[in-house]
Amino acid sequence: MPLDPNAESRYDRTRLRQWAHGRARSAGVERRDLLKLFAAGAVAAGPLGLAAGGTATAADTTAADAAASGAAPQPGIVKALPPELFTVRGTNAETNFAALRGTGQLTPVDRFFVRNHTATPRIDADSWRLKIWGSGLAGGPVEFTYDRLRSLPSVERTLFIECAGNGRSFYTTQQGQQVSGTAWTLGAIGVARWRGVRLSDVLRLAGVTRRAVDVLPRGLDAEVLANGVNLGRVRRPLPVSKALDDVLLAYEMNGEPLPPDHGAPVRVVVPDWIGISSIKWVGDIEVSDEPLYSPWNTDLYRLFGPDQPAGGSAPLTRQTLKSAFELEPGATVPVYRTRLLTGRSWSAAAPVHRVEVSTDGGARWQRARLHDAPRRGGWVRWSLPWTPRATGATALLARATDATGRTQPETAAYNTQGYLFDAVVRHPVLVV
Ligand SMILES: Nc1nc2c(c(=O)[nH]1)N[C@H]1C(S)=C(S)[C@@H](COP(=O)(O)O)O[C@H]1N2
Ligand SMILES: [Mo]
C-alpha cells in the first residue's frame, strides 16, 4: 500500500512527541547525551565544513581534526577518486556533474558519490549474516546468509539515492546563511539500478507481527564519534509501514555485485527518502513493538531554525526537487558559438515533467527539451542550445516542475544543518 506523505508526517510527529517526553527508548545512546548534542547544535551552527556546535558529523570532525593537525584528510573510500570525477570532502566524495555529460540515465559506479560517516569496511560475503531480531517478531532472532538472500525472489528498480544535505553550500553562497555539515554542491546524488530482495519478504520470513512499530537497520561500519559522544553505529529507524511498502535489501548495483563503498555485500535502499535511510553494510535489523530513536532521527536530519517549528521539525523523510547543469562551475565559453547546455532534474515527490532554463541570470526562461520519460525515482536529462551574444560573467539557471505542480523556488527555507536545499542554483559561466 503506498504511503501518503501526510501519514508519514503524522507518524513522525507522534514519535517526536514520545521521544521528547522520554517515552521512547533511544536505541543505544543515552537520551541525555542526545539532548546535549541537540541543544548545542540547534543554536550553534558553525562555519561550513568544520566541526560545528554539537551537530558535526564524523566527516566534519575528521576533516577538521586533519586540518588542525596539518595532515591532508584521507577519505576511507576504496574506489579511485580522480579529480575530474569527484571532489573529495572529508570522508566523502562528491560527483562532479560535468563528469555525467554523455552518460546515461544510470550513474556509472566509478562516478557515484560516496557519503561515509567513517570509512568503507571490507566485509566478506561468505561469513556475513543479516540478523533480524526484536520485540516486533513472533519468535527469536532469525539469521540470513548471503546465499539465502540471493535465493529469494529478486526485484530490480532504478532509484536515486541523494544525501539530505545535497546542495547545502548554496545556503551560504546564494543566501548568505551559515549552516553546519559537509559543504556539498549538487553532486551528492546518484541514480542506480538496484537488485535485491524486498525487505517485506525478509521481515515476513522472520516473523514480523502486527505489533511491530519501527524497523531499525544498522551498519557494520565503525561507531561514529562526534564531539566526544559515541553515537554508535550508523542506524536510523523506519516506520514499519514504509519498511513493508517498497524498501529493498540490495546486493547488486547497475548489474554488478554491490561495490564496497556502496554497502557490500548488502545495503538498504529506501525509495524517495533522504540518503541516510539507505543504510549501507547492513548487519542487523531490529524490529520493535515500541518507537525507536537514534541520533539520525533526533538531533540530525530534522529542521531547526527560526522559520522551523518550535523545537524542530519532524524527522525528515522525502527528498525534495533539484536541477543541475552538466558543466564545470565557472566554465569559460566562447561568444557567438552555439553549444548544447545539458543537465538533469529530479524530484522525490513525482516525475519532473517541465524544466526551464535561463541563460541571462533569470530574466527570461525557455523550455528545455527532455530526453527521458518523466519517471518517479529517477531523473530527467534535458538540453537547450545556447548562443552567448555578449562577453562577461553570467549565470545559467535551471528550474524543474514536478507532476504535483511544485516548482523550484528562488530561495530555500533556512535550517541550521542545511538540509533539503531546493532553490534554483545560479551556475556561474564566463563568456569570452
Ligand atoms: N552504514 C552506513 N550507511 C550509510 C551511511 C554511512 O555512513 N554508514 N551514510 C548514509 C548517507 S548520509 C547517505 S547520503 C548514503 C550515501 O550512499 P552512497 O555512499 O552509496 O552514495 O548512505 C547512507 N548509509
Ligand atoms: Mo546523507
Pairing of strands 248-253, 189-198: antiparallel
281 lines ligand 1 (CB under 6 A): yes
Nearest to residue 61, comparing CAs of 86, 69, 39? Answer: 69
Q: Whole domain around residue 140: which residue ranges?
A: 5-297
Share of the chain above pLDDT 70, in %: 83
pLDDT digits (tens, 9 = 90+) for 299-309: 999 999 999 99
Q: Which is more confidently placed, 2 or 380?
A: 380
Spacing, Cα 82 to ligand 2 middle (Å): 21
* pLDDT beyond 50 at 120: yes
Cα 149 to Cα 198, 248, 299: the distances in Å are: 10, 12, 34
Domain check: are 269 and 393 in the same one? Answer: no
Q: Are 168 and 183 in contact (CB under 8 A)?
A: yes
pLDDT digits (tens, 9 = 90+) for 18-33: 555 544 445 455 555 5
Distance between CA 165 and CA 49 in Å, rounded? Answer: 12
pLDDT average, residue stretch 411-417: 97
Distance between CA 398 and CA 408 in Å, rounded? Answer: 9
Q: Which is more confidently placed, 204 or 45?
A: 204
Q: Give the mutation target among 92, 234, 282, 300 for probing the ligand 1 site: most ligand atoms within 8 A of CB.
A: 234
Q: Which is more confidently placed, 144 or 56?
A: 144
Point out the ligand nearest to the CA of residue 165: 2
114 lines ligand 1 (CB under 6 A): yes
421 found inside a domain: yes
218 lines ligand 1 (CB under 6 A): no
Domain check: are 124 and 241 in the same one? Answer: yes
Domain check: are 39 and 94 in the same one? Answer: yes
Q: What is the pLDDT of residue 5?
A: 36
Q: What is the pLDDT of residue 38?
A: 45
303 found inside a domain: no
In this prediction the pTM is 0.87
CATH number at residue 345: 2.60.40.650
Domain check: are 380 and 277 in the same one? Answer: no
315 found inside a domain: no
* pLDDT level of residue 74 (50, 70, 90 thresholds): low
* pLDDT beyond 50 at 114: yes
Nearest to residue 319, comparing CAs of 411, 217, 406? Answer: 406
Q: What is the pLDDT of residue 353?
A: 96
Residue nearest to atom 24 of ligand 1 (CA): 279
42 found inside a domain: yes
* pLDDT level of residue 228 (50, 70, 90 thresholds): confident
Residue nearest to atom 1 of ligand 1 (CA): 219
Residue nearest to atom 2 of ligand 1 (CA): 280
Counted domains in the chain: 2
Burial of 398 from C-beta contacts in 10 A (0-12 / 13-18 / 19+): buried
Domain check: are 292 and 188 in the same one? Answer: yes
Distance between CA 400 and CA 324 in Å, rounded? Answer: 10
275 lines ligand 1 (CB under 6 A): yes
CATH number at residue 262: 3.90.420.10
Q: Which atom of ligand 1 is nearest to the CA of 117?
A: 7
Q: What is the pLDDT of residue 15?
A: 54
Residue nearest to atom 18 of ligand 1 (CA): 114
Spacing, Cα 288 to ligand 2 middle (Å): 24
Q: Which atom of ligand 1 is nearest to the CA of 115?
A: 19
Residue where one domain finishes, among candidates 297, 312, 346: 297
Q: Which atom of ligand 1 is nearest to the CA of 58?
A: 7
Residue where one domain finishes, among candidates 297, 313, 346: 297
Spacing, Cα 280 to ligand 1 middle (Å): 6
Domain check: are 191 and 259 in the same one? Answer: yes
58 lines ligand 1 (CB under 6 A): no
pLDDT average, residue stretch 269-286: 98
Q: Give the mutation target among 81, 115, 262, 284 for probing the ligand 1 site: most ligand atoms within 8 A of CB.
A: 115
305 found inside a domain: no
Domain check: are 102 and 170 in the same one? Answer: yes
Domain check: are 263 and 356 in the same one? Answer: no
Residue nearest to atom 21 of ligand 1 (CA): 114
The radius of gyration computed from the CA coordinates of the chain, to the nearest angstrom, equals 21
Residue nearest to atom 10 of ligand 1 (CA): 276
Domain check: are 123 and 228 in the same one? Answer: yes
Domain check: are 83 and 170 in the same one? Answer: yes
Domain check: are 223 and 335 in the same one? Answer: no
pLDDT average, residue stretch 315-342: 97
Distance between CA 234 and CA 295 in Å, rounded? Answer: 9
221 lines ligand 1 (CB under 6 A): yes
Distance between CA 244 and CA 208 in Å, rounded? Answer: 10
Spacing, Cα 279 to ligand 1 middle (Å): 6
Q: How far is CA 29 from the centre of its chain?
A: 23
Q: Which atom of ligand 1 is nearest to the CA of 164?
A: 14
Distance between CA 369 and CA 410 in Å, rounded? Answer: 22
Q: What is the pLDDT of residue 71?
A: 45
Q: What is the pLDDT of residue 227?
A: 85
End-to-end CA distance of the chain: 55
Q: What is the pLDDT of residue 48?
A: 27
Q: What is the pLDDT of residue 69?
A: 40
Residue where one domain finishes, among candidates 261, 282, 297: 297
309 found inside a domain: no
200 found inside a domain: yes
Q: Which is more confidently placed, 337 or 226?
A: 337
Name the grid cell of 247: 524498501
pLDDT average, residue stretch 228-233: 94
Mean per-residue pLDDT over the chain, rounded: 88
Domain check: are 109 and 226 in the same one? Answer: yes
Q: What is the pLDDT of residue 18?
A: 55
* pLDDT beyond 50 at 55: no
pLDDT digits (tens, 9 = 90+) for 168-185: 999 999 999 999 999 999
Q: Which is more confidently placed, 2 or 361?
A: 361
Share of the chain above pLDDT 90, in %: 82
Please give the helix or strand (H or E) that residue 10 lies within, else none.
helix 5-20
Q: What is the pLDDT of residue 75?
A: 82
Q: Which atom of ligand 1 is nearest to the CA of 224?
A: 7
Name the grid cell of 250: 540490495
Spacing, Cα 63 to ligand 2 middle (Å): 16
Q: What is the pLDDT of residue 394?
A: 96
Spacing, Cα 57 to ligand 2 middle (Å): 10
pLDDT digits (tens, 9 = 90+) for 351-402: 999 999 999 999 999 999 999 999 989 999 999 999 999 999 999 999 999 9
Q: What is the pLDDT of residue 185?
A: 98
316 found inside a domain: no
